[in-house]
Amino acid sequence: METKKELKILLWIVIIFGVAFFLPIESSRFNTAISATFDLVKWYAREHVILCLLPAFFIAGVISVFVSQGSVLRYFGANAKKWLAYSVAAISGTILAVCSCTILPLFSSIHKRGAGLGPAIAFLYSGPAINILAIILTARILGFEMGVARTVGAVAFSVIIGLIMSFIYRKEEKAKKEEQMNIQIPPEKRPMWQTSFHFFVLVLILIFANLGKPANGDVSSTWYYLWVNKWYITGFFALLLAFSLIRILKIKWQWVLAAVIVTFASALFSSIVIKDPKLSPLLPMLVGIASLSIITLYDKKEYENREWTLASWGFAKQILPLLAIGVITAGFLLGSSHDGKTIAGVIPNEWIQRLVGGNSIFSNFFASIVGAFMYFATLTEVPILQGLIASGMGKGPALALLLAGPSLSLPNMLVIRGILGTQKTFVYVLLVVVMATVSGLIYGSLF
């Protein structure tokens, strides 16, 4: 046993030495891929961790602590009515304008609370796939028929994939169903409307803090108006959150007022000192999250308030390291593409463009695979696809990438594996890729 352990250590030393010895630092492709990796990591850290993931962890904490197990079981549990469970899961994306990584803490929390595998998977897929803003953008830029196909495909995928997963693992689901029948559900601590109010205020802060500029440049649209005023709107919902902390969570108003003042002061300071409009919102968001964490952790009156922040921290510990590994790997292999610039990874973009032309089985399958492993921030898949279509990508592969891409990514898969295990993750990814391939073939033959 000791010899086997030492041999394993020796093997790792040999592998690391071999990688270092043959490191192709003279290759321009390798150096470009390294640049792409750091560029994607920096962009992800600036654009998504503070504004996207940190609020999402607190939303997941709300589900984990404040949403009773009875509510989760009623809507998503193994004994819930299928039509209700899948309907709620399938339309969740119209409420949650999130990416494949931001949905993970929310999925993890409902899964831990006892949601059935099928509805939980439907929720996992639909969250990033049925983003109403992305669908509108798809219809405007890529064509009305593409927008309709994406909508129908995404809703159908979430339900069908959920049902198939539930059927494949029906023995586990049957055991969970029997177990949940014997659960004694305690009475609700507070009315459901209060928990819902607190939850949706946080969701709206997440949505408006990450609202992107309209890609078509239409300054007269409602979307453009919301984007111009998004920080005022976010601030309004932050005040509603402060009200919720006092009225619903019963935190001392003096503490909440102090947190509001500190956050507002940091916003003023940031707007004056930090000139970059992309970086200036990060300081008040960090200060606001830190203030929220402090006043909940030190609240001695309601133990649930402390548990909320601790649960959010638990999701962060579980998910962030895997996301970091996934983002680094995706950047190195597939490159970085954002804000109108593209840096190639080790796999050349020309290869991808050449391989997804036409409407063959291979081109649709390859588009699905590439989409599944690439990371798309919310709404970025549309301008990326616009460029690929201009370079010769077929309409079928374009839809296949749209249906596989936003809901999956390499970072996303690594985290799902940690929650569901390797086998279920593989089956889920396989179902998404196969269905996206078939949908692309059908759409490409029609249009």
Confidence of residue 73 (pLDDT cuts 50, 70, 90): low
Position 353 pLDDT exceeds 90: no
Confidence of residue 378 (pLDDT cuts 50, 70, 90): low
Position 368 pLDDT exceeds 60: yes
Question: End-to-end distance of the chain based on CA atoms, in angstroms?
Answer: 62
What is the per-residue pLDDT across 380-391, written as a single tens digit (0 to 9) for each? 677 677 667 766
Q: Chain-wide mean pLDDT for the chain?
A: 82
Q: Is the dihedral of CA 81, 82, 83, 86 positive or negative?
A: positive
Q: What percent of the chain has pLDDT over 90?
A: 23
349 by Cβ neighbours in 10 Å (0-12 / 13-18 / 19+) ranks as middle
Q: Which pLDDT does position 235 carry in this prediction?
A: 92
| 339-363 average pLDDT score | 78
What is the per-residue pLDDT across 205-248, written as a single tens digit (0 to 9) for each? 988 888 777 766 667 778 788 888 999 999 999 999 999 999 99
Tokens for 333?
A: 């292999």
Tokens for 360?
A: 């063959």
Contact 84, 75 (CB under 8 A): yes
- Whats the size of the chain, residue-wise? 447
Position 188 pLDDT exceeds 80: no
347 by Cβ neighbours in 10 Å (0-12 / 13-18 / 19+) ranks as middle
Query: CA–CA separation, 221 vs 310, rounded Å?
Result: 41
Position 146 pLDDT exceeds 90: no
The phi-psi region of residue 402 (left if phi > 0; otherwise alpha if psi is between -120 and 50; otherwise beta) is alpha
Q: Which pLDDT does position 377 carry in this prediction?
A: 63
Residue whose tokens read 């949940």: 180
Which has the higher per-residue pLDDT, 366 or 133? 366
Confidence of residue 129 (pLDDT cuts 50, 70, 90): confident
Confidence of residue 439 (pLDDT cuts 50, 70, 90): very high
Q: Which pLDDT does position 176 carry in this prediction?
A: 75
Q: Which pLDDT does position 285 carry in this prediction?
A: 93
Q: Which pLDDT does position 247 carry in this prediction?
A: 92
Q: Measured at the alpha carbon of residue 155, what is the angle toward residues 152 and 159, in degrees to the nearest 5? A: 135
Confidence of residue 294 (pLDDT cuts 50, 70, 90): very high
Q: Per-residue b/e over 419-441, b at no fewer than 16 CB within 10 Å?
A: bbeeebbebbbebbbebbbbbbb
Query: CA–CA separation, 285 vs 311, rounded Å?
Result: 19
| 184-188 average pLDDT score | 62
Position 91 pLDDT exceeds 90: no
Position 61 pLDDT exceeds 60: yes
Q: Which pLDDT does position 215 carry in this prediction?
A: 63
pTM for the predicted model, two decimal places:
0.70
Q: Which pLDDT does position 295 carry in this prediction?
A: 94
What is the per-residue pLDDT across 329-338, written as a single tens digit (0 to 9) for each? 777 877 777 7
